[in-house]
Amino acid sequence: MKAGKDNSYLYVGVHYDLFNDREIGINDKKVGETVTPEVREGQLSKTKSPIGYMFVKLYEFKGGKTAQIVEKNILHPLLASRNTVGEWFNDEDDRLISDINKALNGLSTLGIKYTEIELENDKISPNKKEVIKRNSSNRIYFDVSDVEKAPEGADQYSLWELKAPNGETYHQIYNLGAGRTSGRKATSKTVINYCNAEKFLALVDFDYTKLTATFIKSSNNKEDLSSTESK
């Protein structure tokens, strides 16, 4: 996460449990900008408590003021309905990252280029890696209000194969107890909605109507299915 000279950075970060990856009951994320990402992340986590702060997304822009312009003039107004306090935004529906990425992709087509910085590396703890994985997915969402609740006794996990028009496939484990589709019956619609593979979704420009999902098997033990899930 070494800062580039004359560059600026847009970050998305969360509070997290420093030790045991416990749920802390806060789904808000902070969207801010800096020219020194390592220093800024440290500043936001400088408290003697079991709760720390860390980046889950980091984008690099050319120019020392570019990230500030994008943050203040584009992202904060776009996310205004989610604002809770200061630069913090509610993410109960787990869509904030996806909304930000769509906005940045749009800016890229207008010539405002950016590079996403890889945050996962051998130097960070397994706990931090898990926080990044859980918070940084770029998902697609559509209305699942008409999908039935799962029947009593249904297996919690099911394995599905998603396919793009070009034939590329992705294996997804659907969890009845996770996400905004919690408790919803595992169907092609809910599984595609749950898909969290950014590179795979990019094949279809995040247009879920171009994807198909085929059921493979289900189990109450995730380990029975994990060996087939795409990473």
**pLDDT at residue 137 in the model:** 60
CA neighbor of 175 nearest in space, from 154, 198, 158, 190? 158
Mean pLDDT value of segment 57-83: 95
Where along the chain do its domains lie?
A: 7-135, 157-226
Q: How far apart are alpha carbons 54 and 37 in whole angstroms?
A: 11
Which residues share a beta bridge with 16?
52
Identify whether the C-beta of residue 156 lies closer than 8 Å to the C-beta of residue 177.
yes
Edge-to-edge strands of the sheet including 157-163?
169-175, 157-163, 212-219
pLDDT digits (tens, 9 = 90+) for 11-29: 999 999 888 777 787 889 9
pLDDT digits (tens, 9 = 90+) for 1-10: 555 568 999 9
- For residues 20, 23, 26, 28, the Cα torsion angle rounded to the nearest 10 degrees is 70
Which pTM value belongs to this model? 0.62
The CA–CA distances, whole Å, from 104 to 67, 185, 201, 231 equal 11, 33, 16, 25
Identify whether the C-beta of residue 54 lies closer than 8 Å to the C-beta of residue 13.
yes
**pLDDT at residue 132 in the model:** 85
Write down the H helix ranges in 12-158: 37-44, 66-70, 76-78, 96-109, 126-135
